[in-house]
Amino acid sequence: MKTTAPPPQGYVRVELEAGEALHVLHPNAILAYRGAGRGREDRIMDAGGIYRKRKWIRSLLRGQSELLLGLPPGFGLETVAIPAGSDLLFDFRHVIFYSDGMALKPRIQKLKTAWITKELTRMRFSGPGSIGILTAGGLARIDLDEEQPLFIDASALVAFPESASIRLSVYGNPLASQHMNVQWELRGTGSALIQTGSFDRALPELLDKGGFIRRTLRELLPFGGVYIK
């Protein structure tokens, strides 16, 4: 399988060779298809897939073919190779396709984690194979350490090892912890995958409107962003 996404990433081109197959979890994203008509087979998702993707149908594409997948505005696509024995847990909402032959297994999260992520489960893909990940910006890989904690903005974390020790946290002095988004604190071995397009969502608003004093008060006062418009 070969994928190309020329900038700007409004779409991605996927090419399959004879004998290859691909599961597309968002069939309506298929803008164009070149290949044998019988090479596409739509199937009903299982109950878990319907709950996690809010979709009823997935498409299985087989054989030598080419397709264009449209991407949501502001999103890119990264293809991630999954080796045999991988224990990465993915936010299933980010997955747009995966190669045939991979095993999928849902992993139930702790309730305190699910309350923040709004997802009761994360998906484990067992390779070898490849999956297509929708990301805001690019996709960065960062190694974990068993002793030194790694703090990651909860909205930026796409995947982490199932074996990792993980909890919700903040860090820094009281002012820093009060004004930051909830963080994932990870320890362990392996790597985490982070979407790099996540950033301070208030930044564009601050750049567009508000004087210096008003912006300063928003930053310094507790809940300043709520009460000072």
Pairing of strands 75-82, 65-70: unpaired
Q: Cα–Cα–Cα angle for 25, 30, 32, nearest 5°?
A: 155
Domain boundaries in the chain? 9-70, 71-218
Model confidence at 21, pLDDT cuts 50, 70, 90, reads: very high
Instruction: Give residue-wise pLDDT tens across range 161-216.
Output: 988 988 888 899 988 888 788 888 999 999 999 998 865 555 555 445 555 455 55
What is the gyration radius of the CA atoms in the chain, in angstroms?
A: 20
Fold of 71-218: Double-stranded beta-helix (3.60.160)
Instruction: Give residue-wise pLDDT tens across range 39-54.
Output: 999 988 664 554 454 5
Dist. CA 79–CA 91, nearest whole Å: 15
Name which of 81, 159, 80 is nearest 119 in CA terms.
159
Instruction: Provide the pLDDT for residue 198.
Output: 62
Between residues 137 and 33, which one has the greater pLDDT? 33
Q: Cα–Cα–Cα angle for 206, 211, 216, nearest 5°?
A: 70
Q: Which of 3-7, 31-35, 219-223 has the highest mean pLDDT?
A: 31-35
Could you tell me the pTM of the whole model?
0.76
* DSSP 8-state class, residue 137: S
Q: Cα–Cα–Cα angle for 120, 159, 155, nearest 5°?
A: 70
